[in-house]
Structure 1
Amino acid sequence: MFLSAIYRYPLKSAQAQCLQASAVGPLGLAGNRRWMVVREDNGQFLTQRAWPQMTQIGALHQPDGSLWLQAPGLGTLQVPVPDAQAPLRGVTLWRDLLQVPDAGDAAAAWLSTLLGKALRLVYCPEQRARFLPSGYGLASDRAAFPDGFPVLLIGQASLDELNRRIGRPMEMLRFRPNLVVEGSEPFAEDAWQQVRIGQTTFRVLKPSVRCILTTLDPVTGQRSPDKEPLATLRTFREHEGNVLFGQNLAVDGEGVLEPGMPVEVLA
């Protein structure tokens, strides 16, 4: 088995970056989901679930940590990492209430113009990363702004089997993985407890629960009229009311990942 693709999502629910190499550590891939869009009035986070227009936001993580934003008709905006004097904003990410730095008025105006609502952009410094959902991982495990966990892994064979059942190809990016593995059997990752990719070890914490976001075309933002791939997933991947596809991981230590690296199941 080998690592076939690496994806980073610098801005939660915006477009992916396909990477040829990435540092990885306790918060997952370097620069992954460190930025998030929230409502100005109440700090509630935004995602493609309710805002499919977010599929049109290009977001690039820069080596200095800054964020480049681009969207049709709006051009490009560079957003620096907020400094220590940046005001903190109270935000809500599912059940978590966080105080994180606001990224300033220029980013807020850019996003508000694009999405037609008063919005703010916030950043998650490492020291303000949140705990994982209760009952999963170690007390030392943290995450920035993913829904719950630092890393999401999917086997390519699992998507291939799903596509066979649907009868047409679905893009891997509908599921927004960080790591894609080739050479395993379909859904083999369900049984993994610990894996090593290159020299980096990962703990498998829980299956990923899938939602309506998977029915959005990652390029156009258009929703599948037949509710695929969620409709087919429900026929064979539903457990206790949840549709499961992919595995959430935590990272032990730090390392560098590159496509082509061997993947070894340790437990």
Structure 2
Amino acid sequence: MYRVRNKKRGVSMHEIFKVFFINLVCDIDNMLILGIILRKHSHLKITLPAAIVLTLTRTTYIILIDGLSNIPLFQLLTGIILLFIAYKVVTRSTWEDDFFRPSRSPFLKVKVLLLLAATDFLLCLDGVIVISRISQHVVPVATGIFCSLLISLLFFTLIIRLAKTFFWINFIAGGFIAQNAIIGISKDPWLADWIHFIDHLFPRVNIVNIIANGVVILIIMIGLFAYIKEHRITIWK
């Protein structure tokens, strides 16, 4: 009995570490988006509540992901929204400081947490799918996600500062988001016949990868153009 318990504990710790590591890596670019929301409402001090809420929502997504992924148009719509987010990431002026007036609304914390959860739903799908293939056990999944989220949220200011100092970090993050969006769109059941038909026409060419890489280049070029244009205006001012 003792050996069995130790074995189960070892498997559980292994799952927790895997979930922790994958979630931490996937959140590097996600924190650029979530960090904007948190930075805007930094006076609320909701790091711990945000980690708890996002842990609960992500764990729920992992349990339901197989069913959600099979809904026609679901991945297509989320992919389109992700493309819009990628565009906003690369065109946002991260080198300019934003100033916000703290609100005293008693329901603001709830509103911000709901906004974080809704935004995170779109951003975390790639990580959720990977984690769901590793473990479907609630305790290891929730523990790994919570620990990685807590670290990411505690150090999100560092990520934002790096993005402000090194503008190309936004381009990389936007490129990753755009690539995941195209790959996700290609997996939508509604497009399955079209993808199969294209693969049949061009059996030696991976059309999805070509389109994804093309969109990544386009997003980076848009971001670079926006940066040069804005930077030139800033210099002349």
Shared topology, TM-score over 0.5?
Answer: no
* Alignment TM-score, normalising by the size of structure 1: 0.27
TM-score (norm 2): 0.29
Greater strand proportion: 1
* Greater relative contact order structure (CA < 8 Å, 6+ sep): 2
Larger radius of gyration: 2
Q: Which has the higher helix share?
A: 2
